[in-house]
Structure 1
Amino acid sequence: MKTSIVVSYGSQTFSGPASFLDAVDYAHLVYYASESLIGSVYNDLAAFEEALERTYRILEAAQVPVHYHIRTAFRGTNHKIYRDWKLSKLANYLLSINGHPDNGNVALQQLKAFSILNQKRKT
């Protein structure tokens, strides 16, 4: 008798032993870029993709596995499929502060990040 492992996490289903580890890796990807950043911080996709590239470079330079923090996801609405990204808290944070500073929303995120870091230094 053959036994198989099937793990469901949210709308994702993983099967097989290696997929169990994928499911564990996937569990911390808590944001969709389209819901948390695109439209609120980034008004155009090109600016978002530029910040995404910067975030990839930051993670790689810090020797942090990119796949652990950013994964391409395909979603569907109104009979259309579109590309999105699942993000960890770290990737979501990096994306929110690594856009062009001429973008008012990005500038605000950068100031908030500085403010938080400055408060932590005082305590």
Structure 2
Amino acid sequence: MKIITQYDLRKMAILDAFEEALDYSGLTYSTNQLRRYGFEDEEEINLALRRALTVCKSLGIDSKKHFRYYYKVDLLEHQTTREWRVSKLGFYLILSNGSPDNPFVGAFQMEMLRDIIERME
């Protein structure tokens, strides 16, 4: 005998909000931190971010668990900017998909490849 649990819409909305909050709590990195790693501007960050999102999509990884944006409002300057929060995996995916001219990106890619080759031997 199968038991079917039925939730009313209000409970489902609460559960969905709780699940979303749990997902968001794992997004501990800001894409602004990439500037410490040689990313020069928003355009460079956004290009690497789009590549990282494409990687997730092609591998069937739920990008919502690793990438989320929100809007930040500066009332004094009357500006709204979009900022990204990402998981550790998301952060390193962006870092590995940065410009090959960036020495941090190159060093990160080389370190990953060395580790993979070392494990294969």
Relative to the length of structure 1, the TM-score reads 0.73
C-alpha distance in structure 2 between counterparts of 1:20 and 1:62, whole Å:
26
Deviation at 1:17, TM superposition (A): 3.1
Structure 1 gaps, min length 5 = 6-14
* Percent of residue pairs identical: 25
Q: 1:76 to 1:62 in 2, by over 3 A?
A: same
Q: Counterpart of 1:27? A: 25
How far residue 120 of structure 1 moved from its aligned partner, in angstroms, is 4.0
User: What is the deviation of 1:39?
Assistant: 4.2
Which structure dedicates a bigger proportion of its chain to helix? Answer: 2
Structure 2: 5+ residue runs without aligned partners? 1-9
Deviations 1:17-67 (A, max 9, x none): 3211111111211111112x1342311211111111111110000000111
Could you tell me how far apart the structure 1 residues matched to 2:75 and 2:120 are? 48
Match of 1:18 in 2: 16
Given the two structures, how large is their TM-score scaled by the length of structure 2? 0.74
SS at match of 1:102: coil
Equivalent of 2:50 in 34, 44, 53 = 53
Q: Which amino acid aligns with 2:42?
A: L
Q: Which has the higher strand share?
A: 1
Written as runs of structure 1 = structure 2, the 5 A alignment for 1:94-113 is 94-113=93-112
After superposition, give the CA deviation of every residue in 1:55-83 in whole Å (9 maximum; x if it has no partner).
11100000001111100123356845432
User: What number of residue pairs does the alignment pair up?
Assistant: 109
Q: Which has the higher contact order (CA 8 A, sep 6+)?
A: 2
